[in-house]
């Protein structure tokens, strides 16, 4: 079964096209209108090994808020569609990922229940022209629509860029593990309830 999904999401604030292939090699083509977000999503794609194509035309003349939040929503919707019934997946994934002085813990349960435990303490309000508070908005949009439990905790770090980059890499790696197939499970749903 090919685990792939496409989302076209258009509002008064953003126009997004997103395609994801879970069993990929980490190839990406990203154009969000925000250079920093392009960088983070490219890293996420590489470390998750999800092939991703994302374009976003947003009201960046206002700021990046709507674009970043709506990309998170669209990515969550695409992941939820691509993962399907979740048969045979590991379900859980976690990593403590170092990025220079930053150390980020990401832990994931592809549970069917959305929850974000957000614990990044980003010392600056901006990285370039990107508002760092939008990192939380992105992950909120993602988990609500992917229907996963995600904890992101900062164990160390003083550089804003490193902290955020570490988070995107860590979530990518943890999600790669959680969404990967476990040969021991064959085609089972990894839950006593029989559904996730």
Q: What is the pLDDT of residues 46-89, one digit of tens each?
A: 999 999 999 999 999 999 999 999 999 999 999 999 999 999 99
Please report the pLDDT score of residue 126 as a whole number.
98
Residue with tokens 């990593």: 95
Fold of 4-185: Ribosomal Protein S5; domain 2 (3.30.230)
Helices (H) and strands (E) in the chain, counts: 4, 10
Element (H, E) at 17: strand 14-21
Q: C-alpha angle with apex 109: 104 to 112, nearest 5 degrees?
A: 140
Contacts by residues 80-84 (CB-CB < 8 Å, ≥ 24 positions apart)? 80/145, 80/146, 80/147, 81/5, 81/7, 82/3, 82/4, 82/5, 82/20, 82/21, 82/22, 83/3, 83/22, 83/110, 83/146, 83/179, 84/1, 84/3
Q: What is the mean pLDDT of residues 178-188?
A: 90
Q: Based on the number of CB atoms within 10 Å of its own CB, is 19 exposed (0-12), middle (13-18) or buried (19 or more)? A: middle
pTM for the full model?
A: 0.96
Structural domain spans, the chain: 4-185
Length of the chain, please? 196
């Amino acid at each position: 079964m090919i685990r792939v999904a496409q989302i076209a999401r258009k509002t008064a604030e953003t126009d997004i096209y997103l395609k994801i292939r879970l069993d990929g090699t980490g190839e990406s083509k990203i154009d969000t209108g925000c250079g920093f977000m392009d960088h983070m999503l490219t890293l996420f794609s590489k470390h998750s090994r999800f092939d991703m194509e994302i374009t976003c035309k947003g009201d960046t003349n206002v700021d990046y808020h709507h674009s970043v939040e709506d990309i998170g929503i669209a990515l969550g919707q695409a992941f939820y569609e691509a993962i399907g019934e979740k048969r045979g997946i590991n379900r859980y994934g976690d990593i403590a990922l170092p990025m220079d002085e930053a150390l980020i813990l990401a832990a994931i349960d592809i549970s069917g229940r959305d929850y974000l435990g957000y614990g990044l303490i980003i010392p600056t309000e901006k990285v370039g022209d990107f508002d760092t508070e939008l990192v939380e908005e992105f992950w909120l949009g993602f988990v609500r629509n992917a229907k996963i439990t995600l904890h992101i905790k900062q164990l160390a770090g003083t550089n804003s860029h490193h902290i955020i980059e570490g988070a995107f890499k860590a979530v990518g790696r943890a999600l790669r593990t959680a969404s990967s197939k476990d040969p021991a499970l064959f085609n089972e749903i990894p839950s006593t309830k029989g559904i996730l």
